[in-house]
Amino acid sequence: MMLPNGWEIVVGLEVHTELKTASKMFCGCANSFGAEPNTNICPVCLGLPGSLPVLNERAVELAMAIGMALHSTIAPSTFHRKNYFYPDMPKDFQISQYDLPINVGGYLDLPDASRVSIERAHLEEDTGKSTHLGGTGRLQGADRSLVDYNRSGVPLVEIVSGPDIRSSAQARAYAQELRGILIATDASDGRMEEGSMRIDANVSIRKAYAPFGTRCEIKNLNSLRSLQRAIDYEALRQVELLDGGGTVRQETRHWDELLGETSTMRVKEDADDYRYFREPDLVDLAPDQAWQDRVRAGLQPMPAERRQKLAALLNDLSVAHLDAVEVVINLGLDDLVERAVDGGADVTLAISRAANELAANMDAVKNFSSESFTATLLMEQRGELSATQAKTVLAELLQRGGDPRDVARELGFEQLSSSSLGATVAALIREHPDEWTRYRDGDEKLAQFFIGQVMKLTKGQANGKSVVAELQARR
């Protein structure tokens, strides 16, 4: 979206991601989504008097992996207490990194070749989760509030970008690419709908080359669509304010997905004084070179590298193909595609089937073998399955597994070998000499006549392209 009157959007994003550790950040409780409320809790994550935090080594490794993927410097760091009262925060302070974060600086290159700088990526703990019932439905003025502390103490990394983003589409692309990195580092499952990745957007506007304007922070955007819509709404709101002679007030704003609007949560003047100070119950964190090297050695290829690799396999770089490549990369399906290509599958076909049929059932993909995928593609290439049949077979395989050959047979997709197809075509040519002569003389429309006859005889089991190939061979 372009802003009117020469205004330019300036956006910086703060992305909070829950780390995919087995246990919480400072205790041994399970870190899992969806358990019965208040079942994954202990004296430490409940902040009971006398309990003490002990840092989770795996959380540090995942934070370092994120930093490495973002070209950050892994720095000696400390933990602080961020002090404020909130019922879902059991200690009434949050342990977070403050002036000395574990990851300092860095950048993220986007698929359109733009670069967004990273200021920091630091470790902190998550709070519990409140549900406010009745009344206003918010903390102040609800009839009752329920708190689930299962999430309390879940490790988070907060990734803070520089104010380098200039459109909502670029913000979306940044979040998308970052999500790919979080998945590639195994730091997160990237499930925004489950809250494992939440975004705060700092939005301001300015005239080109002018100094930055006053920003507003939109809190807790939990889908890429919300992110893009909220930024556009907020930027236009600020344009109207400034063009109308008003000023933008620095404040924290709430995005309402249903109304499609942002509204004031709190203004800067009554912002909390968090009284940060060093967390005395934890020691300094300074991962040595050997530990960093181990983490670096375990890093899998990042989306940018994988995108390049896949694009290099493609000869035809049409836009449609590149879109399919994006889907494959963002969903992490490139490994399946590359294995299929290694197994003899056509790269364009593999990307297309991955970006459509596999993408349609991502939950099932993690249990899907690359052998099944490759075998199905090869059957389609050999003409043993039509395109429609191949898609049906893939959908079935994703749902219930099994061998592609068996699934095809069970679905009634009789194997039609090229020799029997050849015999069928030869017989039809003999039975329809007039039509054959006209086709041989260049009337391409008659190919459809022969395909129709073959389909009739084979009850639709034949592959149209293979029929044409047989006809061509006899022309």
Distance CA 394, CA 15 (A): 36
What sections of 185-288 are H helices per DSSP?
224-243
**403 strand-pairing partners:** none
Does 145 engage in binding with other proteins (CB under 8 A)?
yes
Question: For the chain, how many helices (H) and strands (E)?
Answer: 16, 15
Q: Does 43 bind other proteins (CB under 8 A)?
A: yes
- Residue closer to other proteins (CB basis): 46 or 75: 46
Residue 275 interacts with other proteins (CB under 8 A)?
Answer: yes
Taking contact as CB under 8 A, which single stretch among the options 137-145, 334-342, 361-369, 464-472 is the one that binds other proteins? 137-145
Tokens, residue 120: 């920091």
Binding residue (CB under 8 A) for other proteins from 20, 81, 120, 353: 81
Sketch the per residue contact string, 90 through 109, with other proteins: x for CB under 8 A, - otherwise. xxxx----------------
DSSP state of 194: G
Q: Which stretch binds other proteins (CB under 8 A): 106-114, 183-191, 273-281, 322-330?
A: 273-281
> Considering only residues 22, 33, 39, 48, which one is a binding residue for other proteins as defined by CB under 8 A?
48
CB of 52 to other proteins, least distance (A): 5
Q: Which of 184, 86, 103 is nearest to 139 (CA)?
A: 86
Distance CA 261, CA 297 (A): 45
The answer to whether residue 54 forms part of the interface with other proteins (CB under 8 A) is yes
Three-state DSSP at 243 gives helix
Nearest to 219, CA basis, from 234, 242, 249, 198: 198
Structural contact between residues 285 and 77, judged by C-beta atoms closer than 8 angstroms: yes
Residue given tokens 């100070």 in the structure block:
277
Q: Could you tell me the two tokens for 344?
A: 């003899």
Site for other proteins in 153-172 (CB under 8 A): none
Instruction: State yes or no: residue 293 binds other proteins (CB under 8 A).
Output: no
Counting Cα atoms < 13 Å in the Cβ hemisphere of 412 gives 3
Q: Calculate ∠ Cα 342-347-353, nearest 5°.
A: 110
139 binds other proteins (CB under 8 A): yes
Whose Cβ is closer to other proteins: residue 91's or residue 307's?
91
Does 50 sit near other proteins (CB under 8 A)?
A: yes
Q: Rule CB under 8 A: choose which of 277, 388, 409, 426 binds other proteins.
A: 277
Which of 6, 137, 141, 344 is the binder for other proteins (CB under 8 A)?
A: 141
**DSSP codes, 259-311:** TTEEEEEEEGGG------EE-TTS--B---HHHHHHHHHTPPPPHHHHHHHHH
Chosen residue from 55, 224, 299, 322 binding other proteins by CB under 8 A: 55
> Between 244 and 280, whose beta carbon lies closer to other proteins?
280
Residue 267 binds other proteins (CB under 8 A): no
Question: x/- contact string, 180-219, with other proteins (CB under 8 A)?
Answer: ----------------------------------------
Closest CA to 187 of 431, 16, 373: 16
Q: Using the minimum distance from each CB to other proteins, give the nearer residue, 43 or 246.
A: 43
Judge whether 453 and 464 are in contact, CB under 8 Å: no
User: To the nearest whole angstrom, how small is the minimum distance from the Cβ of residue 287 to other proteins?
Assistant: 15
Q: Is 83 in the site for other proteins (CB under 8 A)?
A: yes
Q: Which residues bind other proteins (CB under 8 A)?
A: 43, 46-55, 81, 83, 85, 87, 90-93, 139-141, 145, 147, 273, 275-277, 280-283
